[in-house]
Amino acid sequence: MPVTEIRIAGFGGQGVILSAIVIGKAVSIFEGAHATMTQSFGPEARGGACSAQVVLSDRPINYPYVTRPDVLVVMSQEAYSRFTPELKDGGILIVEEELVRISGLRSGIRVYSVPATRLAEELGRRMVLNVVMVGFFAAVTGLVSADALRQAVADSVPPATRELNRRAFDKGYEYGLAKAGAPIEEYDPAPMEVE
């Protein structure tokens, strides 16, 4: 895997950090490559802006920070506004479709949307929306194997919730497989950027 930068952003309480830990753990422990996860958050326990960054690579990672993410996952409108400008040209944008309204996005970005919160609610526990999101991420990006991610999920959640989280992952994954070949194009692209 070449150096791949991922940013996951939303608000505190959505499980942003845990979703980044799952991806990093899957790659560095269960796939044997390298991952570095960093995070930033406000002083609030819940509701404040929250962002996690993961760098993945076949080689040891020196510079640990994300500058131009290849993949951006946003779970709040604020995160969308703040972080989409830094997304790499040709990059992948994943949005929580009921929490984020896409507008003013430049062209050349592949966008995938998922109602992660609603899918989690269908499983009876809204809090697993982050694991739904990880499953969706696995399907549409293909960056990390579903097996490694499943192991990482099981290894990262309380034992009593493993089964619920496994179902959450699978729900997001299957939803993503159905969409993987078809990024949405329903937004109005901004004028092409001059290279």
Amino acid code (one letter) for 13: G
What are the start-end ranges of the E strands in the chain? Answer: 4-11, 34-41, 49-57, 71-74, 92-96, 110-114
CB of 127 to another protein, least distance (A): 21
CB contact at 8 A, 132 and 171 = yes
**Phi–psi pair at 91, nearest 5 degrees:** -75, 175
Residue 37 binding another protein, by CB under 8 A: yes
Q: Give yes or no for residue 76 binding another protein (CB under 8 A).
A: no
* Cβ 92 to another protein shortest distance, Å: 22
Residue 41 near another protein by CB under 8 A: yes
Residue range at the interface with another protein (CB under 8 A); choices 30-38, 70-78, 112-120, 138-146: 30-38
Least separation in angstroms between CB 43 and another protein? 7
* Site for another protein, residues 100 to 129, rule: CB under 8 A: none
Tracing tokens 């194997």 back to the chain, one arrives at 145
The yes or no reply on residue 36 touching another protein (CB under 8 A) is: yes
Residue 57: strand, helix, or coil:
strand
Quote the CA–CA distance of 169 and 175 in Å, as a whole number. 10
Selected from 2, 45, 46, 62, the binder of another protein by CB under 8 A is: 62
- Applying CB under 8 A, the residues found at the interface with another protein are 21, 24-25, 28-29, 34-43, 61-65
